[in-house]
Structure 1
């Protein structure tokens, strides 16, 4: 699978150009499925799901000119014949995995079976946004926050610090965002000090393109790569 991991979607011309290179054709000729599942745990989740679907919440994602766009709701997949939803996933050019709660998104990636399918989708672009990007890394930088939304009696919080590990680095989005006190480089570096992998801290104008394991930084903004301790 090809990964384009963003902080806030397709926010500038450089990231858009990288997406079209990875698709191998214009966005206007490409098909996609949107995954809004990560928004559900939050009190405002229903409004967030509506907004990301119609393009009124978050950065540019659903309204960037796709030839066709459908919605893939992960929580529904266990109740649907696998051959039906898998055919839909295999038939599109891109999966648009929005943000929200990393822990919840990782859980439903696994429960739905999509996590096992992703490595088989060699020509598909995984376009992550915030939590959707963190989900495919080995480490969840939002674990402490996400644990607040785990239902009473659920074991969903087990190994909350771990994500899917489909790429070999960790990611911290929204670097320097004025409304996120944990997104300063100093706070990110504190977290990264305990991570046994490189950590990319990226702002909302930066993305990471990963093809065949090779990482390319696409940026019109600010980013840092923090190395693991020896």
Structure 2
């Protein structure tokens, strides 16, 4: 079952858009950008309403519900960042957590039947996530990024290669500073997908940016 799940998740994580209203200047812009990104070909979306000026309470819940609805309508995986209760309340497809977001054993138990993604910045963190039943790893930050206030130091594509050399067989998603110009390097290093924030949300045409990014990723997977 794990092998089958891995194969399915790998396909769904090819172009993984991560965003909240803070990344899009307003709730209305957030919804518009998400729909444009979906039309452009993103395969997964992570609702990350976290940091300065983020929504809370009922407003946060309402926009999460709407985001999930549009993702479900278009067959796009809908993942919630960090917030276990929100994941349950909106019935998201899964949860993504960082290294400081709680006890992985407990989180895995609470997300039974859902996809669990875990951020990993080192081989040891990756091995720990594997041992606790993670379904995929968010590896990075690969490059320098300004999209996350709490980002770690860049690890480069070398960490992706190191994980593969040490038999980490979960789907791997590179994240952090990935752009249209370096996404192919991330995939060629062995990642199954690329997670981006500003490479879509910060573009004048999110749909076109998404389309170009998925084209680069698919070409890199074909070895072109």
TM-score (norm 1): 0.37
Higher helix share: 2
TM-score (norm 2): 0.38
